[in-house]
Amino acid sequence: MSNLTLVTGAGGFIGGQLVRDLLRQKIPVRAVDKKPADQWYFRSNDAQNIVADVQELGACERAAKGVAHVYNLAADMGGMGFIENNKALCMLSVLINTHMLMAAQKHGVERFFYSSSACVYPAYKQTEADITALKESDAYPAEPEDGYGWEKLFSERMCRHYREDFGLVTRIARYHNVYGPFGTWDGGREKAPAAISRKVALAVIEGKHDIEIWGDGEQTRSFMYIDDCLIGTQKLLHSEIEQPLNIGSDEMVTINQLVDAVEDIAGIKLKRHYKLDAPKGVRGRNSDNSLIKAKLGWAPSISLRAGMEHTYRWVYDQAKARAEGRPFIAAAA
């Protein structure tokens, strides 16, 4: 078999940057996404680009044929506002992983990567802002994020049983809040780093000095820059680690501290208005990286400040282009 690698969700943020990185390494890539090709965040003529909906079994079987490795990143998801208000849509993503596993097993795929989420962790362990970092073993007894988290946890189990019953080598990452340039920055599916970057950028562009923050701003999170995500994802696929593994930064900050950082980068101070009834998720979440350090001898290390420098500048350029009626600045092909 060739070393052809399939990336599903290739038109999205993480998928697009993974395709770019694989091509940089001269690895042949089949890139699949259901969005029209002109809406992909990154698209290269060096990849096999296919527009198809991998919720459908037939699409998965066509995509997996002749493939050595699968990175299954496709999912119907977004930031907390989307997740809390679209539980059924999020759960329908179970069709993607189910059908991709069936297709991978049928076509003899060698290794299968599944992108799970920190949303699998139980709510009862995330009730305080000053949270104890979440270990992989904390996922059970289960009480994940309703909708999206349950789908992710179920799909983790599906991967485990395909490994146990059919010998398909599966690897599972629990991503913690991946961010960076070349991703969703408005429209309701964006995550906090992109949303805060957009709000600050618009304040600069429009000459306003106000910002709306969801919740009281004291909820805590850790945010992982895309470059760390790409390294960890590929290391995990090629490892012998069978259990789900956190891939996330352990640099925990409040949302207010995230706003502080972006304001400092932009050189502006804004009056904060707190929308207390907005979707805000759990009170606190952080990644315990003990296991990934022990198993891979590596952990995400790019600081929030460094990552937000790149992210804010890119979002600002996007917002400025829109305000001036210019085309958006896409990832280079």
**275-289: burial string, b at 16+ Cβ within 10 Å, e else:** eeeeebbbbbbbbbb
**Tens digits of residue pLDDT in 39-98:** 999 999 999 999 999 999 999 999 999 999 999 999 987 666 777 888 998 899 999 999
CA–CA dist 155, 160 (Å, integer): 9
Q: Is 138 exposed, middle or buried (0-12, 13-18, 19+ CB in 10 A)?
A: middle
Highest mean predicted confidence (pLDDT) among 78-82, 144-148, 301-305: 301-305
Task: Indicate the pairing of strand 220-222 with strand 252-254.
Answer: antiparallel
Q: What's the chain's Rg over C-alpha atoms?
A: 19
Which helix (H) or strand (E) covers residue 74, if one does?
A: none
Please check whether residue 272 is in contact with residue 217, taking contact to mean a CB–CB distance below 8 angstroms.
Answer: yes
The catalytic residues are 148
Residue 58 CB coordination number (10 Å)? 12
CA trace torsion 322, 221, 71, 141 (10° rounding): -140
| Per-chain mean pLDDT for the chain | 94
* pLDDT-based confidence at residue 329 (cuts at 50, 70, 90): low
pTM: 0.94
Domains belonging to the chain, first-starting first, are: 5-179+223-247 (3.40.50.720), 192-221+252-323 (3.90.25.10)
26 CB contacts (<8 Å, ≥6 apart)?
Answer: none
From 119, 34, 109, select the one nearest 84 (Cα to Cα): 119
User: What's the token pair of residue 274?
Assistant: 């707190």
Q: What is the pLDDT of residue 155?
A: 98
Asked if pLDDT for residue 1 goes beyond 60, the answer is no
Asked if pLDDT for residue 316 goes beyond 70, the answer is yes
Please check whether residue 282 is in contact with residue 127, taking contact to mean a CB–CB distance below 8 angstroms.
Answer: yes
Q: What is the pLDDT of residue 78?
A: 66
* pLDDT-based confidence at residue 332 (cuts at 50, 70, 90): very low
> At which residue do the structure tokens 């989420």 appear?
117
Q: What is the pLDDT of residue 42?
A: 92
CA–CA dist 225, 179 (Å, integer): 5
In order, the DSSP letters of 175-227 are: E--EE-SSS--SSS---HHHHHHHHHHHHHHHT--EEEEETTS--EEE-EEHH
What are the C-alpha distances in Å from 284 to residues 129, 218, 304? 4, 9, 17
Q: How many helices (H) and strands (E) does the chain have?
A: 11, 13
pLDDT above 90 covers a percentage of the chain that reads 88
**Tens digits of residue pLDDT in 244-271:** 999 999 999 999 999 999 999 999 999 9
